[in-house]
Amino acid sequence: MRNSVGFDWNPVNKQLYFSDNGRDWMSEDVPEDELNRVTKIGQDFGAPYCYQGNLPDPEFGWGHKCSEFVPPILLTGPHSAGLGLRFYTGDMFPAKYKNAIFLARHGSWNRTNKFGGDILVVYLNKDGTVKSSEPFLTGFLQNNNYIGRPVDVMNMPDGSMLISDDWNGAVYRLTYGPAKKVAGR
């Protein structure tokens, strides 16, 4: 692992899932950052020899093959800076989100065309592999400028989710359900 920031235990299979940020200064488009999972003790995920499961490091990769290492279960984008992640265990959001991974992608700092700056949702198969992923909450990146940068997500006891944003020094509470009328309005 190189720079793992977020991790959480899968509530179903009890395996550890974690974000991993690839190295800088190879190019604007590689390596992609990763989502990984630990399935047994002693696994090696490649850094500093190999990134994204198939990209040997030009400086340290000599004498190694990427096939020696555990590949990521999902590539999360070039320099997307996946930080905090949590499995959603609440009941407020629709059932399809139950036990899905929510990953805060802080966003790239070293790309001409910025990437990330959103919350990615990752759906898993019963065996713990990735079924699919899609942006869940976007809008923090507009016209190649950040107006917010998500850092972490946190489940609340009522099923809502907190999202921290270090760009604005804010924490947002995300809920799901019918809009409620505010008294006096």
pLDDT in tens, 145-156: 999 999 999 999
pLDDT at 2 over 80: no
Q: In this predicted structure, what is the pLDDT of residue 31?
A: 93
Phi, psi dihedrals of residue 172, rounded to the nearest 5°: -105, 145
pLDDT at 179 over 80: no
The Cβ-side half-sphere exposure at 75, using a 13 Å CA radius, reads 14
Show the domains of the chain with their CATH numbers.
Answer: 7-174 (2.120.10.30)
Query: CA–CA distance from 165 to each of 5, 133, 148 (Å)?
Result: 15, 22, 6
pTM of the model: 0.93
Query: CA–CA distance from 59 to each of 55, 111, 172 (Å)?
Result: 12, 21, 41
Tell me what percent of the residues of the chain surpass a pLDDT of 90.
Answer: 83
pLDDT at 49 over 70: yes
Instruction: Please count the other Cβ atoms lying within 10 Å of the Cβ belonging to residue 73.
Output: 18
Alpha-carbon gap, residue 154 to 13, rounded angstroms: 20
Q: In this predicted structure, what is the pLDDT of residue 68?
A: 96
Q: In this predicted structure, what is the pLDDT of residue 84?
A: 96
pLDDT at 83 over 80: yes
Pair 128, 10: CB distance under 8 Å:
yes
Average predicted confidence (pLDDT) for the chain: 93
Alpha-carbon gap, residue 120 to 154, rounded angstroms: 14
Q: In this predicted structure, what is the pLDDT of residue 185?
A: 61
Query: CA–CA distance from 129 to each of 14, 38, 91, 100 (Å)?
Result: 13, 11, 23, 11
Instruction: Please count the other Cβ atoms lying within 10 Å of the Cβ belonging to residue 134.
Output: 8
Q: In this predicted structure, what is the pLDDT of residue 124?
A: 98
pLDDT at 5 over 90: no
Q: In this predicted structure, what is the pLDDT of residue 23?
A: 82
Average pLDDT estimate for 118-142: 97
Phi, psi dihedrals of residue 38, rounded to the nearest 5°: -95, 120
Pair 107, 119: CB distance under 8 Å:
no
